[in-house]
């Protein structure tokens, strides 16, 4: 039984990335589709989609395109059992630490945004209560 393949349009809708971004990742060699249709259209597997999701997650953490490529290449090597030399392990560790630091920053930013949203919501409820014609 063959693996299910997805068109770029279905992938884009599913993971909320633009067609242009997905094509860019293909052209940059970061996420290359597993197959092409007879007409030359990109076809993606679940593994390809998972990779796109991982790459998408790196952008808000501040990783550059080159860093993304390097990290994905290192992770690919780990998954195939190819040992990393000490300098590569150090790079992987530094990226992991950076991702954790950036993630924590984003958590704090989201908590601040949540507090603001809750305050605004409460103010709107109060406005509606005191003067329903305002809103």
Spatial CA neighbour of 61 closest among 95, 12, 22, 14:
95
The domain ranges of the chain are 1-60
Task: Give me the pLDDT at residue 135, please.
Answer: 61
Q: What is the pLDDT of residues 109-134, one digit of tens each?
A: 999 999 999 999 999 998 888 887 87
What's the whole-model pTM score?
A: 0.81
DSSP per residue, 22-90: HHHHHHTTSS--SEE-TT--EEE-HHHHHHHHHHHHHGGGT--HHHHHHHHHHHHHHHTTPPPPHHHHH
CA distances for 97 relative to 76, 100, 101, angstroms: 19, 5, 6
Looking at domain 1-60, its CATH architecture is: Orthogonal Bundle (1.10)
Task: Give me the pLDDT at residue 111, please.
Answer: 97
Q: What is the pLDDT of residues 79-111, one digit of tens each?
A: 999 999 999 999 999 999 999 999 999 999 999
Reply yes or no on whether the pLDDT at 23 is more than 60.
yes
């Amino acid at each position: 039984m063959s693996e299910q393949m997805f068109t770029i349009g279905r992938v884009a809708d599913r993971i909320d990335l633009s067609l242009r971004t997905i094509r860019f990742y293909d052209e940059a060699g970061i996420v290359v589709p597993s197959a092409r249709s007879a007409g030359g259209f990109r076809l993606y597997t679940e593994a390809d989609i998972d990779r796109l999701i991982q790459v998408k997650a790196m952008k808000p953490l501040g990783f550059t395109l080159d860093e993304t490529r390097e990290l994905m290449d290192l992770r690919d090597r780990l998954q195939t059992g190819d040992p990393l030399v000490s300098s590569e392990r150090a790079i992987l560790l530094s990226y992991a630490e950076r991702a954790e630091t950036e993630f924590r920053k984003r958590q704090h930013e989201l908590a601040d945004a949540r507090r603001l949203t809750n305050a605004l919501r409460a103010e709107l409820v109060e406005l509606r209560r005191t003067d329903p014609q305002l809103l």
